[in-house]
Structure 1
Amino acid sequence: MSAIKMKRVLTTPALIAFGLAYMVPLGIFTTYGEVTVTSNGHLPIAYIITLAMIFFTALSYCRMANKLPIAGSAYSYVQRTFGGKVGFLVGWAQILDYLFLPILNYLVLGIYLNEAFPAIPAPVFVLGSLIGVSLLNYLGIKLINSVNFTLIIIQMIFIGLFIFLTFTNVNLTPDAMMKPLLVNAGDFSGLLSGAAILCLAFLGFDAIATLAEESNDAQKSLPRAIIWTVLIAGCIFLIVSYCAHLAYPNWTDFAENKDTASLDVVRRVGDISRLGGEFMYNFFQAAYLTGVFASAMTAQTSVSRIFYAMGREGVLPKQIFYRIHPRFRTPYLSIIFVACFSLLSLVLSLTLVVSMISFGALVAFTFVNLCVIKSYLGEGQTKTFALIIKYGLLPAIGVLLSLWLWTSLDATAMVVGLIWLAIGFFYLIYLTKGFTKLLPSIDPHELNSIIKD
């Protein structure tokens, strides 16, 4: 139906900016207090553990992005590797993550901006943000790319200033510098619990894979961007968390005020410098909110591409989701659908939305790792010791770590996720007429054309 194709305009740096915008570099402050207390003041070490854990799954996304450089990310990989039915259910679960992240960002924007400007109701800010994000997505990926770079730079300026002020104003004694890095035997359980929470900060590197059909030389640029995004974000989180501990080493103070711990740290850095605590607080608020806006924008971009891929396959209505705007080359009806769904941000609570996000991501992580094993070591594939390590052991570790992260999900997340999967299962029964028919699928010639384009 859609002979018009999306524009291949995204280079590796643009994809990295997209991934970082999705992840929000300043997102480290969202869980700063909670994980600092959980890890007994060893937040930097917890980030190192998290980075090591996520890296295995990131490698699997690189393998599959190189093998299948098409829009849809985990949905497309599983659909081609394990068949349409499993692929559909994984894609359905993945939608839960991608659909509710924009809503989460709109709610955060509404709450923070309403606090700064109490005369204006929060729903006004929510609606304004939603319209702005949707318009930018409608007008094209190239415009989003430009906005992403701007919003990332604002966050990087704050991060750079935060690091500079810390190292130039804190008394850097050897004991103080080593304290957050020295772990006692009794701290390991807290570190692992903290690492499980921090994994959520890395959600977003996988969103890069949804832009395969808008990337230059996707088989090379996607894997590079995925790895660099994970490494850059990990380094930012590690350095900022280390500086925050140097600036405010008395982490036990946060036990009673975990949610506002990051604001206490930001003010402390301002107070020990000549800039002042209020300046740093206001700068942080502005930089953080621009980051949240960027995350909403990239999240809507990603989910609209997943819908586009599912519409092309025919498992969602083609006349709505498999449509490209003739001028802007964007899946405009998918974008409008996501915008309409995001109106739920006017009525849902922040707590409920947060609980919905992690379930779909962990389903996708688990199956992408399994895809690597089956794709590269399946029947008829060459199996040497080196290949078994590369395509067997490493993704198997990714599977085990993803399954372990399931233990960190709260009961609400599990219930909502399973209900969502049940709805998808019944829809699958409808699509297959009680499993008597095959799911519709993209023509192999069209698939080859997309990969070779």
Structure 2
Amino acid sequence: MNQPIKLQRALGLWSVVLFGLAYMTPMIVFGTFGALATTSGGTTPMAYLIAAGAILLTAISYGVMARVYPVAGSAYTYARRSLNGHVGFLVGWAVLLDYFFLPMVIWLIGGAYLSSAFPDVPAFVWILAFILLTTAVNLVGVVFASRVNLILMAVQLLVLIAFVALAARYVIAAQGPGGLLSVEPFFKADVPFSASIAGAAIAAYSFLGFDAVSTLTEETRDPARTMPKAILITAVAGGAIFVLSSYVTQLAHPGAVFQSVDSAATEIAAKIGGDAFVAIFLATLIVAQFTSGLAAQASVGRLLFAMGRDDVLPKAIFARLHPRWRTPVINLVMVGVVGLLALFMDITTSTSFINFGAFLAFTAVNLSVIALYLRGETQVRASGVLVGLIIPAVAAVCDLYLLGNLDWNAKILGLAWLVIGAVYLVYLTGGLRKAPPEMDFAE
């Protein structure tokens, strides 16, 4: 009798952490620097520090849930099993918002930086080039992307370190070594704290990879012990990278005035390192955006396929594979078409839009911990009242508060997405009279 095929548990702690950091794309701190500096009034590192605090609290809740439910599925699975099947569906729908529109944001950032480097070429040309090239590669397979992931990660970190070092040298040359010690990037007399919080709502976009590691649960050795550690380490390491690099960058360019908000880091790179460094920086950023977009589009294409396979979405459309390439062609093309929205959006609104779904998912995970604690679940109770009740409650409030500080256009678009999901849920469950179909992430 044939044994069912299962995912291989081959990943250790640091393999999972590297996946999370690679998913985050460390250089995104520069890709969104202009939008963050403008929104926060030049207090970008404070925005990152606030976001990191909220994310770290939520990461503790993710660790608790990964210990209780050591299976793939992340926030969707946690909410479905801890709260309610219908709530779980809506959480999954909110997570789908992240996956579905993330490639669009990646292509928008890459297009903005290429447009600043080649101003004679219209921005829409670069965005279309990203979409067409990425979609074409994904249609025929994306195996090579996984092979270069670690190499690209190393290159990103080297360029990021070079950027920070050059920015520090620039500050020392202008103000002396003491210039590196300043509270200005965190607090400014003429900038209200609410501006830093608004920036934090955008900064959370950079942390999206920390919860993605939970999708590797069924491929990780001893996940009940490894996954909570990996989630926390990824969140802390990401926060440290973002706060430190944005701090030094903000010192090199105080304030929030740029020739182009969407490509501000190129302007700063020219100031601290000259044209040669701009070329290196831009090339690395574009390659990082391309590879990140490649992985993001492939991920959502396969997520939509899984949802179609499990009858969460119409099977006839979403559960089809190309007979030769064995890829979900319709899904990948659909994501490419959605990416065209980048032609009409800016980085601030688009990243905020993505964060709407993320904050809802984060809140649901925190509420899942609280629900299990109140129901007396053994492992959660063993964590104590601090981890099982107080921290998730504070984290949920922080997540909802940051959600409330998102760009208004993003909140409207996010609510519209949620309403569509609720209407579809009512249709799918015959007026909520039956449980929604469940996705099987182990396949």
TM-score range, shorter chain: 0.7 to 0.9
Q: Is 1:136–1:144's contact at 8 Å kept on the other side of the alignment?
A: no
Q: Is 1:44–1:239's contact at 8 Å kept on the other side of the alignment?
A: yes
Offset at residue 31 of structure 1 (A): 3.1
Q: Which of the residues 221, 225, 228 maps onto 1:220?
A: 225
Question: TM-score when scaled to structure 1?
Answer: 0.82
Q: Which of the residues 211, 216, 219 maps onto 2:216?
A: 211
For 2:66 and 2:295, the matched residues in 1 are separated by 19
For 1:47 and 1:279, the matched residues in 2 are separated by 29
For 2:419 and 2:278, the matched residues in 1 are separated by 44
Q: Deviations over 1:415-451 (max 9, x none)?
A: 3222222222232223222233333447xxx99xx6x
Question: TM-score when scaled to structure 2?
Answer: 0.83
Q: Deviations over 1:373-401 (max 9, x none)?
A: 11233246589797111110001111001
1:359 equivalent in structure 2: 356
Q: Is 1:22–1:294's contact at 8 Å kept on the other side of the alignment?
A: no
For 1:213 and 1:312, the matched residues in 2 are separated by 19
For 1:230 and 1:217, the matched residues in 2 are separated by 20
For 1:45 and 1:355, the matched residues in 2 are separated by 18
1:82 equivalent in structure 2: 83
Q: Secondary structure at the match of 2:390?
A: helix
2:384 equivalent in structure 1: 387
Code of the residue aligned with 1:278 in structure 2: it is D
Structure 2 residue 194 is the aligned partner of structure 1 residue 189: yes
Code of the residue aligned with 1:177 in structure 2: it is L
For 1:420 and 1:379, the matched residues in 2 are separated by 34
Sequence identity, in percent? 36
Q: Is 1:17–1:148's contact at 8 Å kept on the other side of the alignment?
A: no
Q: Measured at CA, do residues 310 and 378 of structure 1 come closer, stay the same or move farther in structure 2, by a change above 3 Å?
A: farther
For 1:383 and 1:124, the matched residues in 2 are separated by 49
Q: RMSD of aligned C-alpha atoms?
A: 3.6
Code of the residue aligned with 1:183 in structure 2: it is F
Q: Secondary structure at the match of 1:180?
A: coil
For 2:333 and 2:384, the matched residues in 1 are separated by 46
Offset at residue 367 of structure 1 (A): 0.3
Q: Measured at CA, do residues 415 and 234 of structure 1 come closer, stay the same or move farther in structure 2, by a change above 3 Å?
A: same
Q: Measured at CA, do residues 166 and 79 of structure 1 come closer, stay the same or move farther in structure 2, by a change above 3 Å?
A: same
Q: Is 2:38–2:256's contact at 8 Å kept on the other side of the alignment?
A: no
Q: Deviations over 1:348-368 (max 9, x none)?
A: 235175453222111101101
For 2:321 and 2:214, the matched residues in 1 are separated by 19
Equivalenced residues, count: 429
Name the stretch that deviates more: 232-241 or 193-202.
193-202
Code of the residue aligned with 1:416 in structure 2: it is L
2:247 equivalent in structure 1: 242
For 1:45 and 1:95, the matched residues in 2 are separated by 29
Offset at residue 402 of structure 1 (A): 0.9
Offset at residue 104 of structure 1 (A): 2.3
1:273 equivalent in structure 2: none
Structure 1, unpaired ranges of 5+: 271-276
2:332 equivalent in structure 1: 339
Q: Is 2:19–2:213's contact at 8 Å kept on the other side of the alignment?
A: yes
Code of the residue aligned with 1:56 in structure 2: it is L
Offset at residue 54 of structure 1 (A): 1.1
2:264 equivalent in structure 1: 261
2:296 equivalent in structure 1: 299
Q: Is 1:202–1:230's contact at 8 Å kept on the other side of the alignment?
A: yes
Q: Measured at CA, do residues 424 and 13 of structure 1 come closer, stay the same or move farther in structure 2, by a change above 3 Å?
A: same
Q: Which of the residues 204, 213, 222 maps onto 1:199?
A: 204
Q: Is 1:210–1:305's contact at 8 Å kept on the other side of the alignment?
A: no
Offset at residue 160 of structure 1 (A): 1.7
Name the stretch that deviates more: 81-90 or 189-198.
189-198
Q: Measured at CA, do residues 105 and 256 of structure 1 come closer, stay the same or move farther in structure 2, by a change above 3 Å?
A: closer
For 1:385 and 1:216, the matched residues in 2 are separated by 23
2:61 equivalent in structure 1: 60
Structure 2 residue 5 is the aligned partner of structure 1 residue 4: yes
Structure 2, unpaired ranges of 5+: none
Q: Secondary structure at the match of 2:91?
A: helix
Q: Counterparts of 1:16-415 in structure 2 under 5 Å?
A: 16-110=17-111, 112-113=113-114, 116=118, 118=121, 121-122=125-126, 123-133=128-138, 135-137=140-142, 139=143, 144-168=145-169, 170-171=172-173, 172-175=176-179, 177-180=181-184, 183=187, 187=191, 188-248=193-253, 251-252=254-255, 254=257, 257-270=260-273, 277-300=274-297, 302-303=299-300, 306-307=303-304, 310=307, 314-316=311-313, 335-345=328-338, 347-348=340-341, 349-351=343-345, 353-354=350-351, 356-379=353-376, 387-415=384-412
Offset at residue 409 of structure 1 (A): 2.2
Q: Measured at CA, do residues 113 and 168 of structure 1 come closer, stay the same or move farther in structure 2, by a change above 3 Å?
A: closer
Code of the residue aligned with 2:100 in structure 1: it is L
1:274 equivalent in structure 2: none
For 2:38 and 2:278, the matched residues in 1 are separated by 22
For 1:13 and 1:385, the matched residues in 2 are separated by 27
Name the stretch that deviates more: 35-44 or 369-378.
35-44
Q: Deviations over 1:281-315 (max 9, x none)?
A: 11111111122123223424543565466457543
Q: Which runs of 4+ in 1 moved over 6 A?
A: 318-325, 382-386
Q: Deviations over 1:82-128 (max 9, x none)?
A: 22111111111210111110122234445545664949943234211
Q: Is 1:106–1:130's contact at 8 Å kept on the other side of the alignment?
A: no
Q: Is 1:60–1:369's contact at 8 Å kept on the other side of the alignment?
A: yes
Q: Counterparts of 1:411-430 in structure 2 under 5 Å?
A: 411-430=408-427
Offset at residue 9 of structure 1 (A): 4.0
Q: Measured at CA, do residues 380 and 214 of structure 1 come closer, stay the same or move farther in structure 2, by a change above 3 Å?
A: closer
Offset at residue 154 of structure 1 (A): 1.5
Q: Is 2:357–2:414's contact at 8 Å kept on the other side of the alignment?
A: yes
Q: Deviations over 1:199-227 (max 9, x none)?
A: 22212211222222333333333322222
Q: Deviations over 1:54-98 (max 9, x none)?
A: 111111111112222222211111111122111111111210111
For 1:9 and 1:83, the matched residues in 2 are separated by 32
Code of the residue aligned with 2:420 in structure 1: it is I
